[in-house]
Amino acid sequence: MIPGPFLLYIGDKRNPLDIKTSRGLATFRRADCIGELGEADNTLTLGLPRMTAVEAAAAGARSLVLGIATSGGRLEEAMIPHVLAALDAGLDIVSGLHQHLATEPRIRERAEALGRQLIDVRAAPEGLKVGTGAARPGRRILTVGTDCAVGKMYTSIHLADALNARGLPARFRATGQTGVLIAGEGVVIDSVIADFIAGAAEALSPAREDGVWDVIEGQGSLFNPSFAGVSLGLLHGAQPQAMVMCHDPSRPHMRGLPHMQVPGITACIEENLRSARLTSPDAEFIGVSINGSLLDAAAAEDLRARITAETGLPCVDPVVTGMDAVIDRLIARFPA
């Protein structure tokens, strides 16, 4: 578990999708979040007190979490003074970026001099093996998406929590930096060498015969060429019996790819089934989950009804409707 309480860094980011790691922690581990650190002119907020590193340390913070997305996952120059100030204030630094903290000499030298921890969440575990595709016992659900950043982690966490609340034991299996920070365990799958992605997914959800559902957080989308390689390896290694399709209806095009349209939900379901059945021949979908946060209530309700009519699957918004309709479908299709 990453040492908390946290000061969450949002920097100069104006797009809510660019602070999704900080936002995820503020949502699911809010009691561990002391405040947020942003540039003075940045009005984007997590709803936490705006603090300096010194103020956060005085309030009990132990770590500064760099919970933002940057171009190429690199440390940006504007971040360096804030990181150094946090180290001086007595905080450890936690990063979900692809670039590891110690590769920046100024950060490494200051941390070494002060005896602070530099924690890179995107560090692949050692000893991973290639996937085998061999059938293994267990009950596994995978969330997949029409694009990246459409709510796969939120859906996975809400689904695992709802299953447990209904007496069906479940575990959230994190595969992204935000999920790992929330759960305190998991594998950041996009930090894994490509040959070992499927094997990492197999290791994350190993054979089990205790009836517990492993709810595996999906990554990317088979239809987003920037991340489809990770999505496919995870799909093969997870070997899900059940899947949930996640979708953001407000997305005008694939994230970061204005020349590519978001696929239709039915087409995305069909392609994920075709790919999943290489290692899980009987895989099926049990529902669709939308992020309707930018729709009014009537429009969101209408969209859910239209998706159900199109796909024959229950359509939910985890934050608005809960996950019961999806769980009902799961129970009907996979009785204990």
DSSP states along 50-102: B--HHHHHHTT--EEEE----GGGPPPGGGHHHHHHHHHTT-EEEE-SSS-GG
Q: What is the mean pLDDT of the chain?
A: 97
Q: Is the pLDDT of residue 3 over 90?
A: no
The phi-psi region of residue 256 (left if phi > 0; otherwise alpha if psi is between -120 and 50; otherwise beta) is left
The pLDDT confidence band at residue 2, using thresholds 50, 70 and 90, is confident
pLDDT tens for 119-147 read: 999 999 999 999 999 999 999 999 999 99
- In degrees and rounded to multiples of 5, residue 150 shows phi and psi of -115, 5
154: confidence class by pLDDT, cuts 50, 70, 90: very high
pLDDT, average across residues 110-119: 98
d(CA 175, CA 172): 10
Tokens of 249: 């209806």
Give every CB contact of residue 317 below 8 A, 6+ residues apart in sequence. Answer: 289, 290, 291, 292, 300, 304
Range 182-190 contact pairs with CB under 8 angstroms and sequence separation of 24 or more: 182/24, 182/25, 182/28, 182/29, 182/157, 184/1, 184/2, 186/217, 187/124, 187/125, 188/96, 188/121, 188/122, 188/123, 188/124, 189/219, 189/230, 189/233, 189/234, 190/122, 190/219, 190/220, 190/227, 190/230
Q: Who contacts 27 (Cβ-Cβ below 8 Å, separation ≥6)?
A: 154
| pLDDT for residue 1 | 67
Q: What pLDDT sits at residue 99? A: 98
Task: Specify the residue for token string 């799958």.
Answer: 189
**CATH pick for 6-120 out of 3.20.190.10, 3.40.50.720, 1.20.1280.290, 3.30.300.30:** 3.40.50.720
Residue extent(s) of CATH 3.40.50.300 domains in the chain: 139-333
**With 80 as the cut, is the pLDDT of residue 172 above it?**
yes
Query: Residues 89, 94, 95, CA angle at the centre, nearest 5°?
Result: 130
Instruction: Give percent above pLDDT 90 in the chain.
Output: 98
Task: Match domain 139-333 to its CATH number in 3.30.420.10, 1.10.10.10, 3.40.50.1100, 3.40.50.300.
Answer: 3.40.50.300
Is the model's pLDDT at 336 over the cut of 90?
A: no
Identify the three-state secondary structure at position 189: helix
CA quadruple 312, 321, 304, 253: dihedral sign: negative
Question: Cα separation of 203 and 196, whole Å?
Answer: 10
Q: How far is CA 183 from CA 2, 176, 188, 217, 299, in A?
A: 10, 10, 12, 11, 33
- Report d(CA 195, CA 229) in Å as an integer: 10
Tokens of 131: 């996937």
Per-residue pLDDT, averaged over 104-119, amounts to 98
Q: Which helix (H) or strand (E) holds 140?
A: strand 139-145
Tokens of 225: 């060429």
pLDDT tens, residue by residue, 200-254:
999 999 999 999 999 999 999 999 999 999 999 999 999 999 999 999 999 999 9
CB 244 within 8 A of CB 144: yes
Q: Where in the chain is the domain with CATH 3.40.50.720?
A: 6-120
Q: How far apart are CA 209 and CA 165, in angstroms?
A: 21
CB 223 within 8 A of CB 145: no
Which amino acid is located at 104 in the chain?
A: E
**DSSP label at residue 284:** E
User: What digits encode the pLDDT tens for the residues 35-92?
Assistant: 999 999 999 999 999 999 999 999 999 999 999 999 999 999 999 999 999 999 999 9
**Long-range CB pairs of 101-108, under 8 A, 24+ apart, other chains included:** 101/75, 104/75, 104/80, 106/80, 107/75, 107/80, 107/83
Q: Check if the beta carbon of residue 60 is closer than 8 Å to that of residue 35.
A: no
Instruction: Quote the pTM value.
Output: 0.95
